[in-house]
Amino acid sequence: MKPVFQIKYYCLVAFALLLGACGTKTPKTIDPNTVNFEASYDADFDNVLYPSMMLALANYQGNDIPELFTVSLTSPKNNSVVRIVVDSTMLNYVSIMQESLPKKGQRYTFTPVIKWKFDNLYRLRSPGFLDLTFTCFVNDEEVDVKTIRLNYRSINECLLSLIGKNGRYRDYRWLFTAFVNEDHPKIDNILSEILEQGIVSVFDGDRTEKKVETQMRAIWYYALHRGITYSTISCTSNKASRANSQYIRFFDDVYNNRQANCIDACVFFSSIMRRVGLQPIIFVEPCHAFLGYYTDKSRKKIATLETTITGWVNLPELDKYYDAEKGLLEESAYKKIERYMSDKDKERYKTGKMSLEDIKKAVSNTLFDRATEYKQESYTKNKSLFSDSTQTSYQMLVVEELRKQISPIQAVEN
């Protein structure tokens, strides 16, 4: 029988050998220099990631989707198998791509699909930085690792255009339609409020010209009665030298803060219109956007609406200046709205025969007429440009048509 200490000695030696065997690294058989693995982000985007674009294109089925990420490598052997693993971050899940490399020495390029965490993208209300790590395996052997640092933008930031390194202009203003959200849960309550106003009794999808105009007057009055005023914010901290982008308020932002610029208001109106079966159009011209809509089922007639005119009068302010017994406003308040009342309405007003609601509706109707006429000349003058698909300065964005490819962004509050 062997002494106990000798048995213990043999056990320690065996354990040490086992540890040594476990710690031995498998020798590398593939030279990283031969593979020359590279991972890149579209240079035209200046390493800027636009979450609004990722969400808008989540269900896109076309062949012209921007290929933002690319990986390339040289096959070290015939019939090699490459596996690219993109590590998980706060904005994406682990994403894996596997492809065959048939010919030794041949250079191959692929576009890996990143599995985004859409719920987290929705919540991005301020910019930040993100490191995406790409690990390359060839025939199950880890060959190389590359990291791309991206500057991600707020979900409110919409990419408008890019000037590529080759000088080619790339237009993205169709992304405006992603901010139109006909599925917003607040719209049902808004429609109830609109019906209570008494301008329309039902939204039944009737698209005869007169019915469409009446429904639009009702939505217009709601916006004025809500007190939505013009307020421009469009600049961002985006330092991308090739890109032109703009901050856009979501439906919630306009509803809660009661402020909107030209495109914000177009988005707000279009969301409600889409919900009741109307067909909005966003007309884009240099440095401005205005609303349009089809007035008939055949889509041959188009009316326009300059939404910024909602800011000409603040209807909720009239409440504190109205004397219900006299049926009159304080003189200073009346002077602000007098120009927006017809002669007939002025006569009724002076005799105290108009309620505060009557006054507001009279003003709203006049402003609606002016908003309709305001851009009609511009639309008529530039009609050929708006319908020219090669034009970049003038665009006609029919929301219904673009919705087939562009998803609405369901932004959520933090």
Q: Are 268 and 259 in contact (CB under 8 A)?
A: no
pLDDT average, residue stretch 174-193: 95
Q: Verify that 202 and 122 share a domain, yes or no.
A: no
| pLDDT tops 60 at residue 158 | yes
Query: Could you give the angle at which helices 186-196 and 209-226 cross, rounded to 10 degrees?
Result: 100
pTM: 0.86
More confident site: 181 or 63: 181
Residue closest to 177 by CA, chosen among 154, 194, 195, 160: 160
Banded model confidence at residue 141, pLDDT cuts 50, 70, 90: very high
CA distances from residue 301 to 42, 295, 296, 372, 411 in whole angstroms, order as listed: 41, 6, 6, 13, 33
Per-residue pLDDT band at 90 (split at 50, 70, 90): very high
The residue range of the domain holding 187 is 157-402
Of 78, 98, 94, the closest CA to residue 86 belongs to 94
> Is residue 396 exposed (0-12), middle (13-18) or buried (19+ Cβ within 10 Å)?
buried
In a domain, 12, yes or no: no
HEC string for 97-113: EEEEECCCCCEEEECCC
- Whole-number pLDDT of residue 298: 86
Instruction: Work out how many domains the chain is built from and give that number.
Output: 2
Domain boundary, last residue among 152, 184, 215: 152
* Domain-located, residue 169: yes
Same domain, 231 and 366: yes
* Residue 387 binned pLDDT confidence (cut-offs 50, 70, 90): confident
Q: Are residues 166 and 58 in the same domain?
A: no
- Does 10 reside within a domain? no
Q: Is 188 helix (H, G, I), strand (E, B) or coil?
A: helix
Residue 231 vs residues 79, 235, 261, 263: alpha-carbon distances, Å: 61, 13, 5, 11
- pLDDT of residue 413 exceeding 90, the answer is no
Instruction: Say whether both 309 and 164 belong to one domain.
Output: yes
| Residues 129, 209 within the same domain | no
Q: Of 149, 144, 38, which is closest to residue 89 (Cα–Cα)? A: 149
Q: Same domain, yes or no, for 138 and 167?
A: no
pLDDT digits (tens, 9 = 90+) for 8-23: 545 544 544 444 455 5
118 occurs within a structural domain: yes
- Within a domain: 412: no
Asked if 166 and 264 sit in the same domain, the reply is yes
Residue pair 361/222 in contact by the 8 Å Cβ criterion: no
Instruction: Note whether residue 97 is domain-resident.
Output: yes
Residue 236 sits in the same domain as residue 286: yes
Domain shared by 43 and 118, yes or no = yes
DSSP string, 332-388: HHHHHHGGGS-HHHHHHHHTT---HHHHHHHHHHHHHHHHHHHTHHHHHHTHHHHT-
Q: Is 79 helix (H, G, I), strand (E, B) or coil?
A: coil
Say if residue 191 is in the same domain as residue 326. Answer: yes
pLDDT, position 26 = 61
Same domain for 164 and 221, yes or no, is yes
Domain boundary among 121, 152, 183: 152
Choose the final residue of a domain: 152, 175, 201: 152
54: CATH: 2.60.40
Q: Do 89 and 187 reside in the same domain of the chain?
A: no
CA distance 316 to 206: 31
Q: Is the separation of the CB atoms in 104 and 75 below 8 Å?
A: yes
Phi, psi at 373, each rounded to 5°: -80, -25
- pLDDT for position 13: 46
